[in-house]
């Protein structure tokens, strides 16, 4: 599971600036104005090969009993409950305040790992200005500057120290006894729990005709034809504007974690509702996570031939970035189409874990170049020399040569098509990375 880090502090100490720095984005609005952030804001960050989820919160006033600040405090408490580690942000320039003491008092009751980040500390002498923050009893303050990026790596090293584990993806791929993690994702009320109950042959999960019945990512062991699976029923992801309840917001982070940790994701679509913007949003997250994916259109028996034709056109249009994913038509209630669905899931997993020998990849690359060379970039044409596999789940192919930064996206898609055709890859994204050789005579 990706570790979750919550940013907590009084208004205008720079939490949103720190959020943008950790996520390498500009998703959080930043201005020199107290109380700008009011709701919780989720983002994804990365340190080296390790990923994590960051939650930005509004200014925290633990003892506020009414008005908008009471609601903001409620949001912050929920973020702390979700988090594995809390970064308590204070203002190194304005110094300690009574509100900082109130926040520290609350955080001591949560039994969470708390790090004290003294923000806006650029150009300051650590020993003198930061001494007063030891009063909070939160340990040694870590001087950082969110605006300038100073001290961020040290802060992240401390925050993630207990949660970083050795990457065991290769072990999972090579160990036949390890179960395949299959996450069932989709909008609320598309039939995720019903489908898993049908597979299991029992009412293992609560299935009810009301959106949001499942509130957490539920894991269920399952075995089929000798292959072990770990079925993960995720909470339905709905649009941000539709998410009101604190419990449901808590389930969002669990769903994102479940998709990221899965080996294969089954994207469930409701045939009676069609492909919505939210379906495309979930599909985009699955693609970004690099998971193998199979699309299943549930309740296929409930629509007529005209609606079916419109639905398939909608999938081709709205989910065009998942062209590699097979599309199956099923009915979870009537147990229709489940055999072919399992075959597609198995094929997607085999493709995601496919091993590609370097000689075969290099031969395919050379044949592709002979068939169609990349476009010239000025007076030079990119030279593609050899290729090797750089990873699995998703498969990564690394191409080496000269001037490869000029290879166009269209040519990369051409290469992807050749590789997919040879290895019969289905249901998995394929990433192609270009690495240009450096000129040893530069600077001579």
Residue 334 sits in a domain of what CATH number?
3.40.50.300
Helices then strands (H, E): number in the chain? 13, 15
341 and 298 housed in the same domain: yes
In a domain, 441, yes or no: no
pLDDT in tens, 419-434: 999 999 999 999 998 8
pLDDT in tens, 266-306: 999 989 988 888 788 888 888 888 889 999 999 998 889 99
Domain that includes residue 364, residue range: 358-436
179 and 314 housed in the same domain: yes
195 and 123 housed in the same domain: no
In a domain, 443, yes or no: no
Cα angle vertex 9, ends 132, 68, to 5°? 135
pLDDT in tens, 19-46: 888 888 765 444 333 343 434 677 788 8
The reported pLDDT for the residue numbered 55 is 86
Tally of CA atoms within 13 A in the half-sphere of 411 that contains its CB: 21
Question: CA quadruple 120, 122, 128, 134: dihedral positive or negative?
Answer: positive
The pLDDT > 90 percentage for the chain reads 21
153 and 175 housed in the same domain: no
In a domain, 235, yes or no: yes
Q: List, in order, residues 6 or more apart from 373 with CB less than 8 Å away.
A: 381
397 and 320 housed in the same domain: no
Residue 179 clears pLDDT 50, i.e. is over it: yes
Q: Which of 115-119, 148-152, 401-405 has maximum average pLDDT?
A: 115-119
The reported pLDDT for the residue numbered 240 is 45
Residue 128: CB atoms within 10 A of its CB come to 8
Residue 48 clears pLDDT 60, i.e. is over it: yes
Rounded (10°) CA dihedral 389, 176, 217, 426? 40
The reported pLDDT for the residue numbered 26 is 63
The answer to which of 69-73, 85-89, 377-381, 419-423 has the lowest mean pLDDT is 69-73
Rounded (10°) CA dihedral 311, 317, 321, 324? 50
Query: CB of 437 within 8 A of CB of 400?
Result: yes
343 and 204 housed in the same domain: yes
Residue 381 clears pLDDT 90, i.e. is over it: no
143 and 12 housed in the same domain: yes
Question: For the chain, what is the domain count?
Answer: 3
Residue 223 forms beta bridges with which residues?
228
In a domain, 444, yes or no: no
In a domain, 223, yes or no: yes
Rounded mean pLDDT, 387-399? 88
362 and 348 housed in the same domain: no
In a domain, 175, yes or no: yes
Q: Which of 53-62, 109-118, 191-200 has maximum average pLDDT?
A: 109-118
The reported pLDDT for the residue numbered 205 is 40
- Which of 105, 129, 160 is the C-terminal boundary of a domain? 160
192 and 120 housed in the same domain: no
The residue whose two tokens read 């007529």 is 304
Residue 106 clears pLDDT 50, i.e. is over it: yes
The reported pLDDT for the residue numbered 235 is 58
Cα angle vertex 371, ends 357, 364, to 5°? 5
Angle between helices 67-82 and 246-261 (to 10 degrees): 30
Q: DSSP string covering 207-254, please?
A: --SSTT---S-EEEEEEETTEEEEEEEPPPP--GGG---HHHHHHHHH
411 and 284 housed in the same domain: no
Q: Is the model more confident about 232 or about 65?
A: 232
The reported pLDDT for the residue numbered 51 is 83
The answer to which of 62-66, 312-316, 409-413 has the lowest mean pLDDT is 62-66
- Which of 352, 374, 390 is the C-terminal boundary of a domain? 352
In a domain, 189, yes or no: yes
**Spatial separation of the C-alpha atoms in residues 424 and 141, rounded to whole Å:** 54
The reported pLDDT for the residue numbered 424 is 92
- Which of 111, 137, 160 is the C-terminal boundary of a domain? 160
Rounded (10°) CA dihedral 328, 334, 338, 339? -120
310 and 211 housed in the same domain: yes
Residue 10 clears pLDDT 60, i.e. is over it: yes
212 and 249 housed in the same domain: yes
pLDDT in tens, 319-347: 999 999 999 999 988 888 888 999 999 89
């Amino acid at each position: 599971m990706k570790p979750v880090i919550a940013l907590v502090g009084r208004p205008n100490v720079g939490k949103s600036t720190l959020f943008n720095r950790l996520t390498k984005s500009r998703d959080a609005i930043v201005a020199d104005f107290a109380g700008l952030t009011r709701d919780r804001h989720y983002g994804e960050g990365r340190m080296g090969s390790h990923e994590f989820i960051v939650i930005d919160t509004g200014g925290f006033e633990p003892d506020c009993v009414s008005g908008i600040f009471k609601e903001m405090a409620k949001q912050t408490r929920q973020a702390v409950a979700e988090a594995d580690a809390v970064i308590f942000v204070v203002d190194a320039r304005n110094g300690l305040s009574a509100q900082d003491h109130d926040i520290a008092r609350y955080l001591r009751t949560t039994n969470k790992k708390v790090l004290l980040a003294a923000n806006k500390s650029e150009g300051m002498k650590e020993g003198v200005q930061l001494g007063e923050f030891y009063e909070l009893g939160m340990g040694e303050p870590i001087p950082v500057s969110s605006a300038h990026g100073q001290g961020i790596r040290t802060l992240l090293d401390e925050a993630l120290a207990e949660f970083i584990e050795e990457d065991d993806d290769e072990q999972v791929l090579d160990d036949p006894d390890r179960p395949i993690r299959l996450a069932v994702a989709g909008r609320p009320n598309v039939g995720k729990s019903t489908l898993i109950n049908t597979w299991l042959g029992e009412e293992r999960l609560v299935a009810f005709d009301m959106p949001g019945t499942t509130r957490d990512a539920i894991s269920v062991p399952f075995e089929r034809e000798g292959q072990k699976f770990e079925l993960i029923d995720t909470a339905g992801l709905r649009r941000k504007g539709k998410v009101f309840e604190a419990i449901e917001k808590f389930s969002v982070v669990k769903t994102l974690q479940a998709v990221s940790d899965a080996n294969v994701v089954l994207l469930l679509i409701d045939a009676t509702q069609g492909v919505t913007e939210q379906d495309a949003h979930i599909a985009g997250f699955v693609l970004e996570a690099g998971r193998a994916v199979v699309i299943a259109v549930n309740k296929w028996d409930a629509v007529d031939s005209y609606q079916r034709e419109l639905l398939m056109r909608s999938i081709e249009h709205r989910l065009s970035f998942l062209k590699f994913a097979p599309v199956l038509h099923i009915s979870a209630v009537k147990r229709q189409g489940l055999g072919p669905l399992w075959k597609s899931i198995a094929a997607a997993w085999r493709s995601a874990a496919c091993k590609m020998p370097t000689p075969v990849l290099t031969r395919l690359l050379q044949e592709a170049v002979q068939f169609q060379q990349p476009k010239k970039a000025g007076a030079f044409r990119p030279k593609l020399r050899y290729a090797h596999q750089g990873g699995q789940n998703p498969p990564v192919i690394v191409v080496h040569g000269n001037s490869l930064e000029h290879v166009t996206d269209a040519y990369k898609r051409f290469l992807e098509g050749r590789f997919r055709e040879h290895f019969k890859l289905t249901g998995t994204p394929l990433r192609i990375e270009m690495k240009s050789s450096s000129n040893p005579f530069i600077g001579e």
